[in-house]
Structure 1
Amino acid sequence: MADASDRPFDPADHRFGPTHWFEDLQLGQKFYINSRTQTEAMFAAFQSASGDNHPIHYNREYCKARGHRDLLAHGLQVAIQGAAGGGIFPHFIGDSLIGFLEQSSRFLKPVYCGDTLYPMLEVSKLQAGRTTGVVTMKLTIHNQAGMLVCDGQHKYLVRKRPQ
């Protein structure tokens, strides 16, 4: 009798687990995203990717002269910490994910270089269609002091279980 180690490797089997479908999701279900410390390298990478060269994000003396304790993170730099791919959600739903439809963000407190951010997505609404559904997720991002620095929502289009 052959065991699993005798079968040839199949990249399709290299995954988080089985696909979960729209019907498998529940209101209040939470999807953890790894915490990340906002380093100087992240500020520089965001500046390079966005083209935003305002000194409030990259010049410490400019920031201090305006009452900030360090470099001030761009709002979008904070919002991207909630990217679902940084956590387990897209791996949990696997092949049922069709796409990311929209997002919104509110920036509630300043985020500085050296702050550690703790993002979380929570299912807040499920809208079923005929073969798909829209999953609305509440985004929260807290800092190391437990302050809510950003919130918003994401919407994803997800397949229903095949008949």
Structure 2
Amino acid sequence: MAATEDRPFDPAQHRFGPAHWFEDLAVGQKFYINSRTQTEALFSAFQLASGDNHPIHYDREYCKALGHRDMLAHGLQVAIQGAAGGGIFPHFVGESLIGFLEQSSRFLKPVYVGDTLYPMLEVIELKPGRTTGVAVLKLTIHNQAGELVCDGEHKYLLRKKPQ
């Protein structure tokens, strides 16, 4: 009999691992987010979801007339590549995560259809409270040429270890 058959399945145990609490984080700790190529399908999906119908995002000839090499990604389409849920951070903190408090972004270089983006979150500040703490994570998004195309910050409210 296999070990998994010795005890009934418990959905609460079906997770990345044990929760890490506010105190378990360290400045400099990095959280990888999967790379993603910005395909025409992603451009279309973001256009549909956002309602942003400016031709710079879907009309190649319009873009070329303005000196762009191809269709230009929506700024928020680039920013969402840094969504923590695309990587391990929310799984790492598990039930210690109370909420996503704040987000900022700077768009530093254009992102075109076909570009591949490489997001990363890094803990840059930990602000402890009495029973919770705020983790400030720096977002960086590089393209396939190694250029920083977007950066910013995310702030998360986390529980401290239970007593």
Normalising by the smaller structure, the TM-score range is over 0.9
Q: Distance in 2 between matches of 1:6 and 1:113?
A: 51
1:25 partnered with 2:25: yes
Query: CA offsets, 1:76-126, max 9 Å, x none?
Result: 000000000000000000000000000000000000000000000000000
Percent identity reads 83
Q: Structure 1: how far apart are the matches of 2:113 and 2:32?
A: 22
In 2, Cα distance between equivalents of 1:79 and 1:67:
23
In structure 1, what residue type is equivalent to 2:104?
A: S
Q: What amino acid is aligned across from residue 28 of structure 1 in structure 2?
A: G
Q: CA deviation at 1:3?
A: 3.3
| 1:16 matched to 2:16 | yes
What is residue 116 of structure 2 aligned with on the other side?
Answer: 116
> 5+ residue gaps in structure 2?
none
Alignment RMSD, CA only? Answer: 1.1
Aligned to 2:159: 159
**Whole-angstrom distance in 1 between the partners of 2:3 and 2:151:** 48
CA distance, structure 2, for counterparts of residue 85 and residue 2 of structure 1? 33
Question: How many pairs align?
Answer: 163
**What 5-or-longer segments of structure 1 have no aligned partner?**
none
Alpha-carbon shift at residue 5 of structure 1 (Å): 2.9
Partner of 1:139: 139
Aligned to 1:76: 76
Shift of the alpha carbon at 1:6? 1.8
Following superposition, the deviation at residue 4 of structure 1 comes to 3.6
Distance 2:30 2:95 in 1: 19
Counterpart of 1:6? 6
Q: Which runs of 4+ in 1 moved over 2 A?
A: 1-5
